């Protein structure tokens, strides 16, 4: 399986050449709503440079077609990203990446990582009797 949110430029090519059965393009996370998964995928594309400032992103119509989701779900994801200042609307053209979007996303995700993910990791390590030195050594070997 390939899990990827297709960039605006590639979407029409994929729709023309592949059926949904040939390419599973969305990994749905049962622990969160679909619109949040779509938001995270777009944010990841912004962080990794797939989309840069002022780039036109995949449209809500394309999202709903490619991922076989209700158009309202796609609209909700884009609306929330717009409300957060990650995207902005270019009248008559579509949704674009806002100035400073990458920094906003990175800052928020780092806060979640340090305040939630790391805390859970450390708690589990303590429960399992893993020392800080063991944990650091293991993480260093994986990094």
**Percentage of the chain modeled with pLDDT above 90:** 75
**Is 89 strand, coil or helix?**
strand
pTM of the predicted model, to two decimals? 0.74
8 Å CB contact between 85 and 98? yes
pLDDT tens per residue, range 30-80: 688 999 999 999 999 999 999 999 999 999 999 999 988 999 999 999 999
**Is 71 strand, coil or helix?**
helix
What's the confidence (pLDDT) of residue 5? 44
Residue where the block lists tokens 């717009």: 82
Lookup: tokens for 63: 């999202």
What's the confidence (pLDDT) of residue 75? 97
8 Å CB contact between 28 and 73? no
Select the CATH number that applies to the domain covering 8-99 from these four: 1.10.10.10, 2.40.50.140, 1.10.1270.20, 3.40.50.1370: 1.10.10.10
Helix segments in the chain, DSSP class H: 8-17, 34-47, 60-66, 71-83, 101-112, 118-128, 132-142
8 Å CB contact between 95 and 89? yes
**Percentage of the chain modeled with pLDDT above 70:** 79
pLDDT tens per residue, range 109-130: 999 999 999 999 999 999 999 9
């Amino acid at each position: 399986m390939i899990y990827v949110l297709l960039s605006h430029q590639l979407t029409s090519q994929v729709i023309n050449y592949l059926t949904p059965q040939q390419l599973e393009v969305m990994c749905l996370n049962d622990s969160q709503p679909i619109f949040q998964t779509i938001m995270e995928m777009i944010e990841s594309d912004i962080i990794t440079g797939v989309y840069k400032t002022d780039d036109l992103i995949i449209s809500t119509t394309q999202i709903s077609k490619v991922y076989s989701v209700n158009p309202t779900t796609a609209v909700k994801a884009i609306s929330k990203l717009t409300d957060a200042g990650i995207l902005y609307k270019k009248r008559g053209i579509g949704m674009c990446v806002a100035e400073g979007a990458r920094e906003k996303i990175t800052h928020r995700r780092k806060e979640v990582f340090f305040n939630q993910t790391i805390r859970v990791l450390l708690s589990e390590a303590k429960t399992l009797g893993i020392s800080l030195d063991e944990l650091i050594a293991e993480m260093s070997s994986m990094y």
